[in-house]
A and B are shown apart, each in its own frame.
Chain A
Amino acid sequence: MHVPDGFIDAPTSAVTGVVAAGALAVSLRGARRELDERTAPLAGLVAAFIFAVQMLNFPVAAGTSGHLLGGALAAILVGPCTGVLCVSVVLLMQGVLFADGGLTALGVNITDMAITTTVVSYAVFRALLAVLPRKRRSVTVASFVAALLSVPAAALVFTLLYAIGGTTDISIGKVATAMIGVHVLIGIGEAVITALTVSAVIAVRPDLVYGARGLRQRLQLRVDGALVDAPAPVLARTAPGAARTSRRTLWVTGLLASLALAGFVSFYASANPDGLEKVAHDKGIDKKQEKHAAADSPLADYGVKNVANARLSGGLAGVIGVGVTVVAGSAVFWAVRRRQTEDVSPLHTGL
């Protein structure tokens, strides 16, 4: 699915570049909070793992085989932020070193394959874990569903990007059918492999599975035959970590909810164009800003160029507008918040 140069037009590539940069900035902060100073080596090794595992062929039948995309696996094993970083770095290196995926299409590729897959799969994974009983089997089931949905979601995002900035007007219906159809199949493979891999890891090192951290138990030490409670977990900071996790979950859920709302609501509201305008306005997209920043942009007037179906086009514009706004907004939010925390504690001390 590595998109080459020239597949998506320049403005859309630029916009996705900005989206990708914003998401990466957020993930960098997130990963640093998840892993502290361990971020660089651990994320680097996980990136190397993703890179390697993408080369692991899973034979399907009669000589055909598939391989992992790894977004869902990364998100579940190391958390969404680190996951986004790892997959993005893999894409970046594939682009720069192996000419795999265009340099100008990096934004498209990262948005599609790094951000969409990890965010969607992690949101689904957490949501399922919240409802399922607290058992290991639930983790396997949740990983399966998360990975299953993540691949068609990426295909959907690709279709959306193609609808906005595709350089050839193939009917969006055809692209969507082909992309999503094929990727549902790929998603099944991805889901089986991801679930099996996650359960293999969880059987041996449950503490390594980021998504299953809630399943751990408190330690006891035996000194001279007597049991003593361990003072505090070594990799501690559980309490603030939990608070952060919930904030992140909130953020992810909020993003997904607004995306879904914007997409579906504008889809159905677009029977009359005024309704679309109204919904988009109510969803908090600052129309003026958009208009003046990009009068001729693909999003101008919330209709997506080259998309004949008015409903679909309105829906797409809604989703993308909200996406960009949320990402940009949160980037600003994190930047500001970081400055505030830095004022309080100027030094980030390690262990």
Chain B
Amino acid sequence: MVPVSTASLEVSGLAFAYPDGHQALFGVDFTIARGERVALFGPNGAGKTTLVLHLNGILGGGTGTVTVAGLPVGTEHMAAVRQKVGIVFQDPDDQLFMPTVREDVAFGPAAAGLKGAALEERVRTALERVGMQDFAGRPPHHLSFGQRRRVAVATVLAMEPEILVLDEPSSNLDPASRRELADILRSLDVTVLMVTHDLPYALELCPRSLVLSDGVIAADGPTGALLGDEKLMRAHRLELPFGFDPRSVTMGA
């Protein structure tokens, strides 16, 4: 395996409270090696989104450290860190803020200084990777929800990140869009951290899983084993869909 020092992501002792006094994280520790696909589960309010926002230094000011590909997240390397950590937010409407799909995908690379033909090329490649190259000139709010989510993934891919962080990637998707997104994610050659409530989706895509509960990592192991552990599942308000048996499914690569 890859030595720990070059892990894609390393989080240690992370604690944080919001300005209104609500504390969301109580000391989170975990490491993700390069190329891994990892799922992060947890009941509502476990602090998942808060954790995600720490990964590229949007939230900070608590205690503990986050290291991305060897770079500590902090004011010093902020630009580099944000290029390396690509976050796909839950609501594509938040992510797609530019007037057209093309401009939106171009936003990240252009902010990093890319121009002209190189920029166009980067936009085209990113859109092709999610199969949305024909929609470049369209305004985001004219797309379907599934298409918007795919464009949102493209906006992040265009930055060529080290680690892709997806917040609830399968939420509000119809089954076909859900499968299309899974195919896209499987085809990508990047480290993936997927925050989700969709346990079958996690089992399909991620060999390893973390359980975040009450602001700490409560479990860390192979996805199949965690989903099969009924006691653990119940303790953290995790439930499998009716009729779904993790042992009957062959795991995704």
A positions within 8 Å CB-CB of B: 41, 205-207, 216-217, 219-224, 228, 230-236, 350-351
Q: A230-B61, A232-B61, A234-B60 are in contact. Are A221 and B75 (CB under 8 A)?
A: no
List residues of B whose CB falls within 8 A of some A CB.
Answer: 15-17, 19-21, 23, 26-27, 57, 59-63, 75, 78, 97
Chain A residues whose C-beta falls within 8 Å of the C-beta of B27 in the assembled complex:
223-224
Residue among A206, A223, A230, A351 with max Cβ neighbours from chain B (10 Å): A223
A41 to B96, CA, bound (A): 12
Structural contact, B26 and A230, CB atoms closer than 8 A? no
CB–CB A221/B20 < 8 A? no
Cβ-defined partner of A234 (8 Å) among B26, B59, B75: B59
In the complex, the answer to whether B26 meets A224 with C-beta atoms within 8 Å is yes
Contact A223 B20 (CB under 8 A): no
Beta-carbon contact of B19 and A219 below 8 Å: yes
**When the two chains form their complex, are residues B61 and A234 in contact, meaning their CB atoms are under 8 A apart?**
yes
Chain B: CB-nearest residue to A234: B61
* Shortest beta-carbon distance from A34 to chain B in Å: 16
Give Cα A236 to B61, complex, Å. Answer: 9
Given known contacts A41-B97, A222-B26, A223-B63, is B15 in contact with A233 (CB within 8 Å)? no
Partner of A221, one of B19, B59, B60, B63: B63
The docked-state distance in angstroms from the alpha carbon of A220 to that of B62 is 10
Interface residue from A206, A228, A230 paired with B20 (Cβ < 8 Å) = A206
**Across the interface, which residues of A come within 8 angstroms of B23, CB to CB?**
221-222
What is the number of contacts between chain A and chain B, taking CB atoms within 8 Å? 49
Given contacts A221-B62, A224-B26, A224-B27, contact A235 B19 (CB under 8 A): yes
Q: How far is the CB of A210 from chain B (nearest CB, A)?
A: 14
Does the CB pair B19–A220 fall under 8 Å? no
The interface residues of chain B lying within 8 Å CB-to-CB of A351 are: 57, 75, 78
Q: How far is the CA of A5 from the CA of B90 in the complex (A)?
A: 45
Chain B positions within 8 Å of A220 at CB level? 17, 21
When distances are taken between beta carbons in the complex, the residues of chain A under 8 Å from B62 are 221, 230-231
CA distance A41 to B62 in the complex (A): 25
Can you give 5 contacting A-B residue pairs, CB < 8 Å? A41-B97, A220-B17, A220-B21, A223-B27, A233-B19
Kindly state the separation between the CA atoms of A351 and B62 in the bound complex, as whole angstroms: 15
Closest chain A CB from B150 CB (angstroms)? 23
Cα distance A224–B26 when bound, in Å? 7
Expressed in whole angstroms, the minimum distance between the Cβ of B40 and any Cβ of chain A is 21
Nearest neighbor of B15 in chain A, beta-carbon distance: A223
A350 to B, closest residue via Cβ: B78
With a CB–CB cut-off of 8 A, which chain B residues contact A234?
Answer: 19, 59-61
Q: Which residues of B contact A223 (CB under 8 A)?
A: 15, 26-27, 63
A205 touching B17, Cβ below 8 Å: no
Quick check: B20 and A231 within 8 Å, CB to CB? no
Leading 10 A-B pairs by shortest Cβ distance: A234-B61, A223-B15, A207-B19, A221-B17, A219-B17, A223-B27, A221-B15, A231-B61, A222-B23, A221-B23
- Known A234-B59, A351-B57, A351-B78; judge A216-B26 contact (CB<8 A): no
Residue with the highest number of chain A CB atoms closer than 10 Å, among B15, B27, B59: B15
Bound-state Cα–Cα, A240 to B7, Å: 39
Q: In whole angstroms, what is the CA distance A351 to B82 when docked?
A: 12
Measured between alpha carbons, how far is A205 from B20 in the docked complex, in Å?
Answer: 8
- B251 CB to nearest A CB, Å: 35
Min Cβ gap B14→A in Å is: 10
Contact status B19-A216, CB under 8 Å: yes
Please measure, in the bound complex, the distance between the C-alpha atom of A289 and the C-alpha atom of B244, giving whole angstroms: 83
B45 nearest CB across to chain A (Å): 16
For A231, what are the chain B residues with a Cβ–Cβ distance below 8 Å? 61-63
B78 touches A221 (CB 8 A): no
* Shortest CB distance B24–A (Å): 10
Tell me the bound Cα distance from A233 to B18 in angstroms. 9
Are the CB atoms of A219 and B21 closer together than 8 Å? yes
Q: How far is B78's CA from A350's CA once the two chains are assembled, in angstroms?
A: 10
CA distance A234 to B21 in the complex (A): 12
A207-B19, A220-B21, A231-B62 known, 7 other contacts, Cβ within 8 Å: A221-B63, A224-B26, A230-B17, A230-B61, A232-B61, A233-B19, A236-B61
A43 to B78, CA, bound (A): 24
A230 to B60, CA, bound (A): 10
Chain B residues lying within 8 Å of A41, measured Cβ to Cβ, are: 97
A residues less than 8 Å from B60 (CB atoms): 234
Shortest CB distance B181–A (Å): 26
Contact A221 B57 (CB under 8 A): no
Give CA–CA (A231, B61) in the complex, Å: 6
For the complex, give the distance between the alpha carbons of A232 and B62 in Å: 8
Cα distance A236–B60 in the bound complex, in angstroms: 11
CB distance from A173 to the nearest CB of B (A): 49
Contacts of B78 in A (CB 8 A): 350-351
Find chain A residues with CB under 8 A from B16 CB.
Answer: 221
